[in-house]
Structures are given as structure tokens and as C-alpha cells.
A = this chain, B = another copy of it.
């Protein structure tokens, strides 16, 4: 379900947080579905449970999951809201990138082509996510 990239400069808890956000906003994890337990996931990834705990804490703070003591952690009911937020963030990134490209006079076609190539490769190669 989750793969860690140890070469990524970001802290582990941030990687994990983002992975769950993506799983939820892409629909792989549906509304009110239960997340893996802290201990189980920690064992699976062979990392410290504290790290998972911190990820879940952050997700809860962002209202993406809710926790029930003694039962576990669950995806919030309104997954569509999450999807909207993530998409909007991405669009903002796209706009900023476009501004930079324009500033540097990088031809639009060149840029879009590179973008499409990566997109299609990712969709084709990563069916095992």
C-alpha cells in the first residue's frame, strides 16, 4: 500500500502523510474506510511507530481522517473535499510553473510535451500502486 523512498529528502512522516492523502483523493481509500493500525503499518515498513503516529496526527489535524479511541483511524466522510483541495494545490503549482517558464522564454510546446510524456509514462508504468 505504501512505499517509502529513503532517498527522498523529506522526512518519512511527511512522505507517509502525502501517500495517504493521495490514496484518499484518488479514491483508493473510500469514505469511512479504516486505515491500517499504527503498529501494523510500522512493522510492515519496519520503521518506528512514532513516525506513523505523527503522520496520522497530521492527517487528523487536516480533517482528512478521524480517530476513534480503541477502534482505529478512519477516512473522513467527505473525500470529495480532499480531492478538491489537492487538485487546487496542483493547479496552483501548475500556474507558478507556467509563470517561470514564460519568464525564461521556454517554448510552451516543449514544456507541455515533456509534461505529457511524464504523465503518460506514470499512468502506464505504475499500475501496481
Interface hits, A49-67 → B, CB 8 Å:
61, 66
A25 partner, pick from B104, B112, B115, beta carbons under 8 A: B104
What's the minimum C-beta distance from A92 to chain B, rounded to whole angstroms? Answer: 10
**A contacts with B: majority SS:** helix
- CA gap between A83 and B74 in the complex, in Å: 33
Instruction: Specify how many copies of this chain sit in the oligomer.
Output: 4
Q: CB-CB < 8 A to A98: which residues of B?
A: 114-119, 122
A103 at the interface (CB under 8 A from B): yes
Q: CB-CB < 8 A to A39: which residues of B?
A: none
A90 partner, pick from B25, B94, B95, B97, beta carbons under 8 A: B97
What's the minimum C-beta distance from A79 to chain B, rounded to whole angstroms? Answer: 12
Contact between A93 and B102, CB atoms less than 8 A apart: no
Interface hits, A100-129 → B, CB 8 Å:
100-106, 108, 111-112, 114-120, 122-123, 126, 129
Q: Which chain B residue shows the least CB distance to A11?
A: B69
